[in-house]
Amino acid sequence: MTPVFPPARTPNPLDAPPLRWGVLAPGRIAAAFVTAVSRYTRQRVVAVGSRSLDRASAFAAEHGIDRAVGSYQELVDDPAVDVVYVASPHSEHAAQAGLAVAAGKHVLVEKAFTRNAAQARHLVAAARAAGVLAVEAMWTRFLTQTDVLARLLADGVLGEVTTVLADHGQHFAPDPQSRLFAPELAGGALLDLGIYPISFASFVLGAPDSVVATGSRTATGVDAQVSMTLSTGTAQACLNTTLLAATPTTASVSGTAGSVEITGPFYAPASMILTTADGRAVREPDPVAGHLGLCFEAAHVAQLIADGATESPLLPLDETVRILETVDEIRRQVGVRYPGE
């Protein structure tokens, strides 16, 4: 009998109740988010805030947003905003998401949640004290393929999991002016790219018992390439991230009874290939392609807020902190420290 994929339980993003969103820090990922939300959900982006009013106004005009403001504080204080999407570089997340939390606003914070685990613990504590929802925007966690994988694991279709493989590499020409190469902006491959395979391994295996990493650094001192082995019990995750080359960006989970491969890029809507003793099956990706898949995380957050929840069951805050603890240990082994740490 040919193996069969279980159906995804992920709700249709259009079913989530519409909320009013404010975008903090207009840029490339913010543009992708607004496009996805506008096309595939009933969410409304009503305001955008930047340190530059001109930049905010240009973004608002391009995306049909009603209000543009020239400060982050003004954005989070806006009574017409229900939830804030923090789209700045991860070096700024702790402070800027903290502004929203202090203003009593729910927050969806781009990955990586903060630049290190200490900042994450502080932000989590603040959100819990304020009674607001805080979620890391690790959008892969909210895609339908991730729920399908969760069901395969829960049903034991793969048997006892032994091996997780994942990589994420892109080629960037060395540029000391780029945030990816700037230590003060928490640059490097790990927080920008490597967070995807690390989060994937955490989803499958949980927190690692041991972490072994090796890598190289750029001339500016941030991580250029890192290879990691995360071990949990009898299972291992072999992961890689790099700024030096475009890699396949695939992921796989293998066990004693079968394996699942997610084609590249695995962190976006992608095909899944299930192989067991009974044969091989292919699950095609969702028609919502590429970064349009950001609609799922926005809809999930909106539903949580409507339900009065303050954490996501798909990515609990404690797991977000543990993932950054793993990243901190990897950086320690590779010899990368950010200013002020």
Tell me how far apart the alpha carbons of residues 64 and 135 are, in angstroms, rounded to a whole number.
Answer: 26
Q: For the segment 263-278, what is each residue's pLDDT rounded down to a tens digit?
A: 989 999 999 999 999 9
Instruction: Judge whether 111 counts as a catalytic residue.
Output: yes
Please count the CA atoms within 13 angstroms of the CA of 283 that sit on its side-chain side. 24
Fold (CATH) for 141-287+312-334:
Dihydrodipicolinate Reductase; domain 2 (3.30.360)
Class of domain 13-137: alpha beta
Tell me how far apart the alpha carbons of residues 250 and 197 are, in angstroms, rounded to a whole number.
Answer: 9
Predicted pLDDT at 41: 98
Predicted pLDDT at 10: 97
Please count the CA atoms within 13 angstroms of the CA of 246 that sit on its side-chain side. 3
Range(s) of the chain covered by CATH 3.40.50.720: 13-137
User: pTM for the complete prediction?
Assistant: 0.96
- Within the chain, which residues score under 50 in pLDDT? none
Find the catalytic residue in 63, 93, 106, 111: 111
Evaluate whether 137 touches 108 at the Cβ level (below 8 Å): yes
Q: Find the angle CA(33)-CA(28)-CA(193) to the nearest 5 degrees.
A: 90
The 10 Å Cβ neighbour count of residue 209 is 11
Predicted pLDDT at 177: 84
Question: What is the gyration radius of the CA atoms in the chain, in angstroms?
Answer: 20
Range(s) of the chain covered by CATH 3.30.360.10: 141-287+312-334
Which residue is associated with the tokens 């305001």?
47
